[in-house]
Amino acid sequence: MISQADKGTSIVILYQDTCKQKVEEFISNNNFTVANSDNTKKKLQNITRSTVNKCQKLIHKNNRWKYMSS
């Protein structure tokens, strides 16, 4: 696996197994919890819908569906 380093303009080359192990260690060492669903998707949809609905002068009501995420 080839990736850009966190700092600088360097690249990092890792075996995929090593990368997966580092991610799992990071998750377990930082007390992350697994969510049952993707709450960000619904929240983003609500924010988008609200914003589009507030833009009545910019977006005609017949075209609002084009900007909604289903």
For residue range 18-50, list pLDDT tens digits in order: 989 988 899 889 988 878 877 777 888 888 888
Rama region for 15: left / alpha / beta (φ>0; ψ in -120 to 50; rest): beta
% of the chain at pLDDT higher than 70: 97
| Residue with tokens 């060492």, as numbered in its chain | 29
Q: Which amino acid is at 41?
A: K
70 pLDDT band, cuts 50/70/90, is: low
pTM of the model: 0.41
